[in-house]
Amino acid sequence: MFLWLFAVMLWASFAVVRHADALAEILGEPYGTLILTLAVISIEIALISAVMLTGDAAPTLARDTMFAILMIVLNGLTGAALLIGGLAHREQDYNLQGARAFVAVLMPLAVFSLVLPKYTVSTADPTFSAPQAFFFAAVTLLLYAVFLVIQTIRHRGFFEQPAVADDGAAIPHSAHAVRSLPYHAVLLALTLLPVVLLSKRLATVVDFGSGRLGLPVEFGGVVIALLVLTPEGLAALGAARANYLQRSVNLLLGSAVATIGLTVPAVLAIGLVIDRPVTLGLDDAGTVLLVLTLVMSAMTFGGVRTSLLQGAVHLVMFLAYLMLIFSP
């Protein structure tokens, strides 16, 4: 059952990415990667919402999914993209101002959402009280909205490739035929539909299977994160290989920011509606790994060029995350 559900939803996710990629080619940057990011994050929100509404899901699964997405994006996929790009092109250029904008928004949002709840004293568990949940959901959504205005209107140039590479690499285009904007927009919505409809069933299967096989609770979050990120991750790796690192940066860092900026308000709102506390605070090991990841991301994207060394460092941190799942 799990394999069938996962395969069908993964196929639908690739279809979503295909139509989002076509829209990216029609609209240009940064709208193209923004559409793809929002489409992927909508899948994540649907899955996490279904998990929360099953009634018997682990209270930490929403947190584990968001943490898994951050670790996979900021360490696994970013490390792989930089390593692939570094091996193929030695050093790669990107827009420093855009990358800094992503990291500047990501750092406080990630700390507010995944670290701060452990240190608040309004509740005994690593959760927010109702007033705190309402406040942080509102400010998180507001900050993400401000970021979208910067990305798409006021400073759109921050998120465009600064210059054409010397080796003549071209911007990667969709491998499929590109038709009209309404055509791809409608099919994008229709291909999202089976993912949303099957989300609750997959959540039930993952929850049951993890308990039956004695797997760590965090494993369910990794499964959902992999389902959400696989198509987008492949697109980011392809862009890095084609020496268009800015598209990879937009996709990967955009996913990380959107994961916090949209998912946290959604799960906190659901928790308030169904009167169920949402456990967001990470344990000590997770907190250390998250802070280290944020610091290294700031250092990686603190210069105008990247090399395979930064990719290797991020991949090592991703391997450390995987090890801590099965051997905490």
Give pLDDT tens digits for 108-117. Answer: 999 999 999 9
pLDDT at 80: 94
C-alpha distances out from residue 126 to 164, 208, 243, 283, Å:
47, 24, 42, 9
The residue among 166, 33, 45, 193 whose CA lies nearest residue 102 is 33
Do the beta carbons of residue 22 and residue 176 sit within 8 Å? yes
Give the tokens for residue 307: 């090399």
pLDDT at 236: 87
Do the beta carbons of residue 244 and residue 235 sit within 8 Å? no
Low-confidence ranges of the chain (pLDDT < 50): 165-170
Sign of CA dihedral 327, 66, 294, 98: positive
d(CA 144, CA 260) in angstroms, rounded, equals 9
Q: How far is CA 104 from the centre of its chain?
A: 16
CA atoms within 13 A on the CB side of 14: 9
pLDDT at 166: 44
For residue 316, what is the DSSP state? H
pLDDT at 167: 46
